Amino acid sequence: MNYCEQCGSTSFDEQGFCRGCGARRPGLAAAGPHSAPGANPSAISPQGVVQSVGSIPLAQAQVKSVWRAVVLAFLLGPLGMIYSTALGAVVMAVVSVLAMLFLNNVLAWLLVPAICAVWAGLAARSANSIY
């Protein structure tokens, strides 16, 4: 099975482009009108997002940084989770209010950021994977 050299995904479309980052499948020759030697069939941004193939612009979801999601959620709690999951941010906002009401404040201040960080990291990781 081929793995993408850019992102490690194993999901490729019919033309041989990675569905995770848009890079061409390893070992697949370039085809089409832009296959001249030295021609780059796709313009890839520094974040690994394909902006165009030849002269055709593409739209693709932006890759989310797992570490950025974890740090934002740990430092800002439910507000920082908006980066990775808006629904999770709403759920954790409700959970944090309930934790403040029914748990010891020190325990709530320790548990809520940790749970937010784990949830945000998993959400960012699953948003980046395509199966």
When pLDDT is averaged across residues 107-114 and rounded to a whole number, the result is 85
Does residue 72 share a domain with residue 57?
A: no
Does residue 106 share a domain with residue 86?
A: yes
Does residue 33 share a domain with residue 52?
A: yes
Please say which residue of 13, 29, 61 terminates a domain.
61
Does residue 33 share a domain with residue 9?
A: yes
> Is the separation of the CB atoms in 49 and 60 below 8 Å?
yes
Give the model's pLDDT for residue 35: 45
Does residue 86 share a domain with residue 45?
A: no
Does residue 72 share a domain with residue 52?
A: no
Q: Which of 7-11, 26-30, 127-131 has the lowest mean pLDDT?
A: 26-30
The answer for residues whose C-beta is within 8 angstroms of residue 68's C-beta and 6 or more apart is: 83, 124
- Residue 48, pLDDT > 70, answer no
> Is the separation of the CB atoms in 12 and 27 below 8 Å?
no
Give the model's pLDDT for residue 52: 56
Give the model's pLDDT for residue 90: 94
This prediction's pTM: 0.52
Report the domain count for the chain: 2
Does residue 41 share a domain with residue 78?
A: no
The closest alpha carbon to 51, from 18, 26, 93, 21, belongs to 21
Give the model's pLDDT for residue 1: 55
Q: Which of 35-39, 53-57, 61-65, 74-78 has the lowest mean pLDDT?
A: 35-39
Q: Which domain holds residue 36?
A: 1-61
Does residue 3 share a domain with residue 57?
A: yes
- What pLDDT digit, counting tens, does each position of 25-46 carry? 666 655 544 444 444 445 555 4
Does residue 74 share a domain with residue 40?
A: no
